[in-house]
A and B are shown apart, each in its own frame.
Chain A
Amino acid sequence: MKSVLAIILLFWLLFSVSSLVLNITELFSEEKIYFSATEDEKRKLLYGDSHLIYTFLLNQVKEIDNILLFSSSGKTFFLGRYYLYPKKIYWAAEKRNMTTDKIKRYAYVLVYYSKDENINIELNNIEGLRVAKKASIVDERDNLIAVLYKVL
Chain B
Amino acid sequence: MLATLLGILLVICFGFVIIENFSVLRKQPFLEKIAYSYGLGIGLISLEMLIYSLLGIRWSLIALLVPWIFPIALFMKAKKYKQLFFTRKIFPPSSWFDRLFIFLIVTTVVYVLLEATIRPVAGWDPFATWLMTGKAFYIDRTIDSSIYTYMNYDIPPFIGLFVAFGYIVLGQVNDTTVLLFFSSFYIAILLLFYFTSRKYISSRYALLFTFLLATIQNLIRHAGKFDVGYADLPLAFYFFASSILLLLFLQSRSIKTLILLSFFLGTGALIKNDGVPFFLFVEMIGIFFAIRWGKYKYILAAFPGFLLFGAWQMYKVIFSVQESYLFHGTIDVARVPAILLEMGKEFLNVRRWNISWLIFFVSLIKTSDFSAKILILILLFQLFSYLFVYMVTPIGISQIKNSFDRLLIHLVPIAMLIVVTNFSKFRLKYD
* Chain A residues in the interface with B (C-beta under 8 A): 1-2, 5-6, 8-9, 11-13, 15-17, 19-20, 23-24, 27, 31, 34-35, 39, 42-43, 45-46, 75, 78-79, 81-82, 85-86, 88
Known A12-B212, A46-B122, A78-B124; judge A5-B426 contact (CB<8 A): yes
For A11, the closest partner residue in chain B by CB is B355
Select the stretch in B6-14, B128-136, B290-298 that faces chain A: B128-136
For A78, the closest partner residue in chain B by CB is B128
For B139, the closest partner residue in chain A by CB is A86
| 8 closest residue pairs by CB, A with B | A78-B128, A16-B215, A34-B118, A82-B127, A34-B119, A46-B122, A42-B119, A82-B132
Nearest CB on B from A35, distance (A): 6
- For B150, the chain A residues whose CB sits under 8 A away are 88
- CB of B203 closer than 8 Å to a CB of A: no
> Once the chains bind, are A78 and B354 in contact (CB under 8 Å)?
no
> Once the chains bind, are A13 and B120 in contact (CB under 8 Å)?
no
Known A2-B426, A27-B111, A78-B127; judge A19-B354 contact (CB<8 A): yes
Nearest CB on B from A81, distance (A): 7
Q: Which of A5, A12, A17 has the most CB of B within 10 A?
A: A12
- CB of B114 closer than 8 Å to a CB of A: yes
Further 7 A-B residue pairs, CB within 8 A, beyond A11-B355, A27-B115: A5-B423, A17-B104, A17-B215, A20-B215, A34-B119, A46-B119, A88-B150
Contact count A vs B, C-beta below 8 Å:
80
Checking A79, A81, A85 against B139 with a beta-carbon cut-off of 8 angstroms, the contacting residue is A85
* Chain B residues in the interface with A (C-beta under 8 A): 104, 107-108, 111, 114-115, 118-120, 122, 124, 127-128, 131-132, 135-136, 139-140, 150-151, 208, 211-212, 215, 217, 220, 354-356, 359, 423, 426-429
Known A27-B111, A85-B136; judge A46-B120 contact (CB<8 A): yes
> Once the chains bind, are A12 and B354 in contact (CB under 8 Å)?
yes
For B355, the closest partner residue in chain A by CB is A12
Known A46-B120, A78-B128; judge A16-B426 contact (CB<8 A): no
Query: Looking at chain B's contact residues, is the secondary structure mostly helix, strand, loop, or mixed?
Result: helix
Q: Please, how many angstroms separate the alpha-carbon atoms of A6 and B423 in the complex? A: 11
- For A23, the chain B residues whose CB sits under 8 A away are 111, 217, 220
- For A27, the chain B residues whose CB sits under 8 A away are 111, 114-115
> Once the chains bind, are A86 and B124 in contact (CB under 8 Å)?
no
> Once the chains bind, are B215 and A82 in contact (CB under 8 Å)?
no
Nearest CB on A from B182, distance (A): 17
Nearest CB on A from B203, distance (A): 16
> Once the chains bind, are A82 and B118 in contact (CB under 8 Å)?
no
Known A5-B428, A27-B115; judge A81-B355 contact (CB<8 A): no
Checking A9, A17, A81 against B132 with a beta-carbon cut-off of 8 angstroms, the contacting residue is A81
Nearest CB on B from A47, distance (A): 8
Known A15-B355, A27-B115, A82-B135; judge A20-B122 contact (CB<8 A): no
For B351, the closest partner residue in chain A by CB is A19
- For A12, the chain B residues whose CB sits under 8 A away are 212, 354-356, 359
> Once the chains bind, are B128 and A82 in contact (CB under 8 Å)?
yes
- For B151, the chain A residues whose CB sits under 8 A away are 81
Q: Please, how many angstroms separate the alpha-carbon atoms of A81 and B132 in the complex? A: 8
Return 11 A-B CB contacts under 8 Å, by A number: A1-B426, A5-B423, A6-B428, A6-B429, A8-B359, A12-B356, A13-B212, A16-B354, A19-B217, A19-B354, A34-B119
